[in-house]
Structure 1
Amino acid sequence: MPSKYYPFDSETLKEPLDERWAARRKAADATRRLIENLVNTKASVEELEQLAEAISFQADNLEKQPMAKGRFDSTDAVAFEQKTISELSYELNPVEGKSNPLAPPLNIWMDDEGVYGKTMLGWQYEGPPNTVHGGYVAALFDQFLGIGQKITGHPGVTGQMSVKYLKPTPLNTELTFQGRLKESEGRRIIMTAEILANGAVTATAECLFIRINAEAFKRMKEGT
């Protein structure tokens, strides 16, 4: 692994590339707080109307700035030229991107033996009472194992995934992830993982990834 640049080689949160990315992370963290508070608020109609107006004002301001069409179309990709695609994912991926407010605070790292992770999901991810929505559990597994398959040196795209929900995955509780390589042969990579809360396994997953070549990835980036 290119550990000099690779953001998943350590449990320690990687520092942002520069001051602008640091500001993006700060804005993303503030937006996550806003989302969770909006889900739970008992504010009055008047206060909510004022909030909507303030948010719309800020959204309008951002729309006046230069805009990209996805992270691979971003001028910021130039700054990552000497980095890896993983660096862009680390910042902007919708499931674990540090600068993407849609993403929960998921941290992933790995070694030669497997892949590991931790997070804590707030009320905005609630499905059944006090429980993480099953769709988010699946999304977390997909991203977690998608990163973990890179221990093979030749990662691919998700082909199939199965999830077993053994017990409710609690909100507002530290969740830990453990994953490992089950099989790597030809174009096929199979990874397995589990989520633990308070020492108990709440869900398990097995995911099949299909390796793709550089030309196929280039076509995906170009939308062709």
Structure 2
Amino acid sequence: MSDGFLPVAGEVRDPETLREKERAYEDLADAVRELLDATIRTKVDPADVDDLTAQVRDISAKLLVNAHEGPLGLRVSSDGRWRDPGNPAVGRRNAFAPPLKMHRDRAAKRVSCTFNLGAAYEGPPKHVHGGMLAMIMDQVLGSVPPLIGKPGMTAYLTLTYRRPSPLQHNLTAEGWVDRTDGWKTTVKGHVLDADGQVTVEAEGLFIVPKMARELLSAPMSDAGEFELFSQPVGDSPRR
């Protein structure tokens, strides 16, 4: 799915408090992300692991004393936009997410991000799992259509793996508009290794669903120029 799928939500009543809440939960996700990596790579004595496991479970229990019943879905962020904090690619509260940080060039209709993945994302020995690369390319390519005002859902995503993508090395994913047809946008992209060699080639088709078309006056404005919701800011978007 492409991002930029919903318009700006409106004015946040208390952005400073919400920003502090975001910081705390993002720090927690960062710590758990470190724990995930350490869990895979640790060589400490099993007796010590048993004690540490009990501590981790105790922390989980404390966090669940006050928790959502299920997935978070879309939430209003401190900048007034709807975002999905649990997204496994870019979600700031998801410890599995790298998380990816997109760089958007609206003039060139192009998106890129550089990432460096560790042990939790291993497929072939010392290389990134192909499924992880597919998810990353879905996110990167899906971030392109909003640049031309056509945020959409993934209709298809095709990948060609040219060579292994190494772990613990900087990799760069890029996506750009290939062609458009009404509410449909075909996007192409690739993953480059640190030497500039293509490791993955990708193509995706993204279609603006009917419910989103009703939010857009025309499929041509930039994602940041969508009309505002008239409803007060809350925890979930109007359906």
Q: Normalised by the shorter chain, which TM-score bucket?
A: 0.7 to 0.9
- Corresponding position of 1:207: 204
Higher RCO, 1 vs 2 (CA within 8 Å, ≥6 residues apart): 2
Structure number with larger C-alpha Rg: 2
* 1:166/1:201 contact within 8 Å kept: yes
Question: Amino acid of the residue matched to residue 140 of structure 2?
Answer: F
Pick the structure with more helix per residue: 1
Instruction: Tell me which residue corresponds to 1:179.
Output: 175
- Measured in 2, the distance between the counterparts of 1:212 and 1:200 equals 35
Percent identity over the alignment is: 29
Question: Which one-letter code corresponds to 1:192 in the other structure?
Answer: K
Tell me the amino acid that sits aligned with residue 35 of structure 1: L
Task: Tell me, in whole angstroms, the C-alpha distance in 2 between the residues paired with 1:43 and 1:108.
Answer: 37
Matched, 1:64 2:65: yes
What is the TM-score when the length of structure 2 is the normalising length?
0.76
TM-score normalized by the length of structure 1? 0.81
In structure 2, the partner of 1:13 is: none
CA contact (8 A) 1:105 1:121 kept: no
Residue 190 of structure 1: CA displacement?
0.8
Q: Which runs of 5+ in 2 are unaligned?
A: 9-16, 216-235
1:215 Cα shift? 6.6
What is the distance in 2 between the residues matched to 1:71 and 1:109?
25
In structure 1, what is the Cα distance between the partners aligned to 2:181 and 2:81?
Answer: 25
Cα offset, 1:17, TM superposition: 5.5
How far did 1:150 drift? 1.1
Q: CA separation in 1, counterparts of 2:92 and 2:78?
A: 19
Per-residue deviation at 1:216? Answer: 9.2
Q: Name structure 1 gaps, 5 residues minimum.
A: 6-15
After superposition, the C-alpha distances for 1:157-190 in whole angstroms (9 at most, x for unaligned) are 1111100100010100111122100112123211
Q: Distance in 2 between matches of 1:209 and 1:138?
A: 15
Hey, what does 2:19 align to over in structure 1?
A: 18
- How far apart, CA to CA, are the structure 2 residues paired with 1:155 and 1:169? 29
Pair 1:31-2:41 in alignment: no
Runs of 4+ in 1 over 3 A off after TM superposition: 79-82, 215-218
Could you give the per-residue CA deviations for residues 64-107 of structure 1, whole angstroms, max 9, x where no partner exists? 1142532237xxx3x5497223xx13x43211222210101321
CA distance in 2, matches of 1:52, 1:192: 44
Count matched residues. 202
